[in-house]
């Protein structure tokens, strides 16, 4: 059994790594230094590293409540236990002597791969399987969703193991610490990106609240459209950066209604030609609102053109077919479904089954048939909206 000092120091190191955990609003499993430290520690401690991995993760403050932290600590401990077992089974020594350094490289790689496989399985695969194979969290999305977690844990564990090998091999603590510099740089870069994304999300939420203050119908509608559009994007295999942009397009597709008079938005009867013209102008007003925001560059097309029709009879430009931006065609489908199932001043909500029939009826004239079918594949993941009166789509 390792010394108490070694176990305590390892637990403290894992706890510090977990305290530096970075989590974004849209990332279910974000990179963390804690598992990397734990997997690297198997070179020193073998399977015994699971004990400080569990205690260090459990005691780390800041990023999660006690129930979630308890579950995560068990996940990290089990992954570390598997890693330590594979390390010894592959011929590694814990701790290795100077003569064992060269021969320990293979066991380090095997142990890290095993630990990462268990960690990914426990942290991400099980809950996604429980959610079912349909929708944005299905099996087809696992490679993209888990890439950051797999890379950070695997590379971190390998670097931690190499640092330990350099230390016992006589290179000294400074050389060992230099090996860990890339891991620290990667964590810093991710943290910066996460903070920037949080700022972007704050801007979009502020804009949505401004529309909601004027238009009761928009409350909840924009969030539902954004979530459903993101699921469609993932179903189509879009990279997460494009999914994020598509989500912004769905969230802000009605932002131009800020410039539409409230009386027009909430009118329960037919609109006059003048009122209809004012209402249709909200698509262009949306462009005016988001144009200064560079991070919404790709989302703008979905915001401006989500009322175009594939037969060319939509607005504001009368685009048709593939000339309509992809984001706009996706948002048009999910917007239409949510509008039908949530209700508007001049139309009560209709059952979901009827809305599905309407989508299929409109495919090829109003809506893109491909995106209608992709959306319907994710339909059981769409939250049930509350039937409320609201404004015109």
Is residue 349 in some structural domain? yes
For residue 383, pLDDT over 50 is answered with no
User: pTM of this prediction?
Assistant: 0.64
Q: For residue 337, is pLDDT > 90?
A: yes
Highest mean pLDDT among 92-96, 122-126, 253-257, 366-370: 366-370
- Asked whether residue 218 is assigned to any structural domain, the reply reads yes
Q: Structure tokens of 335? A: 């917007």
Same domain, 174 and 201: no
What's the whole-number mean pLDDT along residues 337-346?
Answer: 79
149, 122 in Cβ contact below 8 A?
no
Structural domain ending residue among the three candidates 121, 145, 179: 179
CATH, residue 257 = 1.10.3210.10
Would you report the helix, strand and coil content of the chain in percent, each value rounded to 5? 70, 0, 30
Statement: residue 137 has pLDDT above 80: no
Shared domain check, 131 and 249? no
Q: Which is higher by pLDDT, 372 or 388?
A: 372
Residue 124 neighbours by CB under 8 Å, 6+ apart: 28, 29, 142, 145, 146, 149
CATH number of the domain residue 126 falls in: 1.10.1760
| Residue 56 shares a structural domain with residue 172 | yes
Question: Do residues 158 and 289 both lie within one domain?
Answer: no
Whether residue 185 is contained in a domain is answered as: no
pLDDT in tens, 34-51: 777 887 788 888 899 899
Shared-domain flag, residues 155 and 232: no
Identify whether residues 88 and 17 lie together within a single domain: yes
Residue 103 domain flag:
yes
- Is 258 in a helix, a strand, or coil? helix
**Do 168 and 229 have their domain in common?**
no
Domain of residue 29 covers 4-179
| Residue 383, SS3 per DSSP | coil
Residue 230 inside a domain? The answer is yes
Residues 153 and 216 in one domain: no
- Greatest alpha-carbon pair distance for the chain in Å reads 88
Q: Is residue 188 part of a domain?
A: no
Domain total of the chain: 2
Do 278 and 166 fall within a single domain?
Answer: no
Top pLDDT among 265 and 87 is at 87
Which of 334, 329, 333 has the alpha carbon at shortest distance from 320? 329
- pLDDT bucket at 133, cuts 50 / 70 / 90: very low
Contact 127, 199 (CB under 8 A): no
Residue 247 has pLDDT above 90, yes or no: yes
| Ramachandran class of 391: left when φ > 0, alpha when ψ lies in -120 to 50, beta otherwise | beta
323 in a domain, yes or no?
yes
| Shared-domain flag, residues 205 and 337 | yes
What does the pLDDT average to over 159-186? 74
Residue 312 domain-assigned? yes
Q: Residue 389: pLDDT band by 50, 70, 90 thresholds?
A: very low
CA distances (Å), origin 270, targets 50, 181, 267? 68, 65, 8
Q: Are residues 162 and 308 in the same domain?
A: no
- The answer on 207 and 254 residing in a single domain is yes
Among the candidates 131, 146, 179, a domain finishes at 179
Domain endpoint, select from 122, 154, 179:
179
């Amino acid at each position: 059994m390792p010394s108490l000092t070694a176990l305590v120091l390892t637990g403290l190191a894992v706890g510090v790594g977990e305290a530096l955990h970075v989590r974004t609003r849209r990332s279910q499993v974000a990179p963390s230094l804690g598992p990397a430290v734990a997997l690297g520690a198997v070179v020193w401690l073998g399977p015994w590293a699971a004990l400080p991995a569990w205690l260090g993760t459990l005691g780390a403050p800041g990023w999660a409540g006690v129930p979630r932290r308890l579950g995560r600590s068990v996940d990290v401990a089990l992954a570390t236990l598997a890693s330590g077992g594979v390390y010894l089974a592959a011929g590694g020594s814990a701790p290795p002597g100077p003569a064992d350094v060269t021969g320990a490289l293979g066991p380090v790689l095997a142990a890290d791969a095993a630990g990462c496989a268990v960690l990914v399985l426990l942290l991400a695969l099980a809950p996604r399987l429980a959610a079912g194979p349909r929708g944005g969290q299905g099996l087809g999305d696992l490679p993209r969703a888990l890439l950051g977690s797999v890379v950070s844990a695997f590379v971190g564990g390998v670097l931690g193991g190499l640092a330990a090998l350099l230390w016992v091999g006589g290179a000294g603590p400074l050389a060992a610490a230099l090996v860990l510099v890339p891991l620290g740089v990667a964590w810093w870069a991710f943290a910066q990106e996460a903070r920037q994304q949080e700022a972007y999300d704050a801007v979009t939420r502020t804009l949505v609240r401004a529309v909601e203050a004027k238009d009761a119908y928009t409350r909840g509608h924009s969030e539902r459209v954004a979530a459903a559009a993101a699921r469609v994007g993932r179903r189509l295999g879009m990279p997460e950066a494009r999914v994020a942009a598509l989500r912004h397009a769905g969230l802000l597709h009605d932002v131009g209604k800020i410039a539409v008079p409230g009386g027009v938005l909430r009118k329960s009867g037919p609109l006059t030609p003048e009122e209809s013209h004012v209402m249709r102008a909200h698509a262009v007003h949306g462009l005016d609102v988001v144009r200064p925001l560079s991070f919404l560059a790709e989302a703008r097309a979905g915001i401006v053109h989500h009322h175009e029709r594939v037969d060319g009879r939509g607005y504001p430009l009368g685009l048709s077919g593939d000339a309509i931006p992809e984001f706009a065609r996706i948002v048009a489908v999910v917007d239409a479904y949510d509008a039908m199932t949530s209700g508007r001043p001049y139309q009560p909500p209709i059952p979901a089954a009827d809305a599905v029939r309407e989508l299929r009826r409109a495919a090829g004239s109003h809506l893109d048939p491909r995106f209608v079918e992709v959306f319907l594949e994710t339909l059981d993941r769409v939250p049930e909206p509350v039937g409320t009166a609201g404004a015109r789509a």
